[in-house]
Each structure stands twice: as C-alpha cells, then as structure tokens.
Amino acid sequence: MARANAEPAVDKRRLILDAAVRVFARQGFHTCRVSDIADEAGVAYGLVYHYFDSKDQILDTLFLERWDILLRAIQQVDAEEIPPREKLYAITSFIVDSYRHDPELMKVIIVEVTRAANTFGRTHLAHIREAYHGIAAIVERAQRAGTFRADITPEFAALAFYGAVEQVLTGWIFALLPTGEREYEQAKTHIVETICGGLDRVVSDAPAPSPTAGRAD
C-alpha cells in the first residue's frame, strides 16, 4: 500500500493549524500556550516546531491563507459587469458565508489580526489595506459612472462599509446579535441597504429592491 510520494496519512501540519484555530478562538492567541495547541491536535509539543518556526507564524499562516482568498474574491467581483451595489453585496455575501462556513477561523482572523492592529494587524497592515483599496476602487468607479454620490471619498466609504461588515460579524461572535441562516441572509441585504442607501445618489423611493434585481448602467 505505497502512498503517493512523501504524503503522510494525515497531514499533521494541517492538523496543527486546525487545532490552533480552535484554541485561538477559545482562549485567544495571547492567553493560550503552544502546548494547548499540541494537546488539541493530539500531537507532541515538539512537532509544532517541526512545522512552524514560532507561535506567531501559526497565526500568520492562518491569516494569510484566508485573507488571500478574500483579496482574490474582491478582485474577481470588481471585474464582473454588474452594478456597484451588487458588487458590494457579493463581497458582503462572501464574508458572511466565510463566517457561516468557519466561524472559529473568522473569529480568530478578526479578533486576533484585523482588529488587533497593534500586534498582528501591524504586521499585516499592508494586506488589510489592500482589501480596503479593492473596495475603494469599486466605489470610485461607481462614482465616475454617476451611480454613487461623489462627495464622499472612496477610501472613506470603503472604511465605513468594511467597518459595518466587521462590526456585524463581531456582533455574532460575541452574541450581541442573533445568529442563524435567516439572520445571515438578512444581514447581507441590510448591510448593503444601510451603506448604499447612503452612498447611492438619491433617486428612487421604491422600498428596498432585491439585491440581484436592480440594474443601473
């Protein structure tokens, strides 16, 4: 039963990363010990250092893996030929679904990196900024097309938009907001409604249209 070259039965590296997500989510990065991660993974202490240089590197890896996916999603959305409101909806949807799919990982990324700008956020500021830029680019294009009002800078709008999304996730993480399938879907619409209603050039007075309905250009 020769296995494919050098591929172990269980990828211990992955096992450690997944265990780290659970431990970080439960105890927080600063308050957990490396031995907690090893225990959670059912692996010897030393093995963690066989696969990673440091405790920090484990968190870095988790963050970068996921953030790159987000950045690519933003770029992909921006390339599509759909109205800006739908673009923002797609991004919101992606982030909300990421939370739905793996709440612990999203909790770690938000609490320990994105919102911990003094420690890990500092290290990854450039990556985080890239996401803002991607969103700002969408807003800017929409402004040039006349779909969004132009008196609010794209960078500012991007920050407000992302801030609202992240705050809602934080609300779920810390049980300030009810969770559930219905809530997730509603949140997507509500976030885009709240923010775009403000960014949109005032034209219609029809009640909240379905996010995939409206056509602008």
Partner DNA sequence: TGACCGGTTGACTGACCAGTCAATCTGTCC
Partner DNA sequence: GGACAGATTGACTGGTCAGTCAACCGGTCA
Question: Residue from 61, 123, 167, 179 that binds a copy of itself (CB under 8 A)?
Answer: 167
Q: Give the chain's end-to-end CA distance (angstroms, integer).
A: 60
Q: Is 3 in the site for DNA (CB under 7 A)?
A: yes
- The distance of closest approach from Cβ of residue 119 to a copy of itself in the complex, given in angstroms and rounded to an integer, is 6
Q: Is 174 in the site for DNA (CB under 7 A)?
A: no
- The distance of closest approach from Cβ of residue 172 to a copy of itself in the complex, given in angstroms and rounded to an integer, is 10
Span 19-78, contacts to DNA by CB under 7 A: 32-35, 43-47, 49-50, 54-56
The CA-based angle 77-153-110, given to 5 degrees, is 55
Q: How many residues make contact with a copy of itself (CB under 8 A)?
A: 53
> Which among DNA, a copy of itself, none contacts residue 212 (Cβ within 5 to 8 A by kind)?
none
Span 29-58, contacts to a copy of itself by CB under 8 A: 30-31
Residue 138 or 173: which CB sits closer to a copy of itself?
A: 173
Summarize as ranges the residues that interact with DNA (CB under 7 A): 2-3, 6, 8, 12, 32-35, 43-47, 49-50, 54-56
Which residues here bind a copy of itself, judged by CB under 8 A? 28, 30-31, 111-112, 115-119, 121-122, 125, 129, 132, 151-153, 155-157, 159-160, 162-168, 170-171, 173-174, 176-177, 187, 190-191, 193-200, 202-205, 207-208
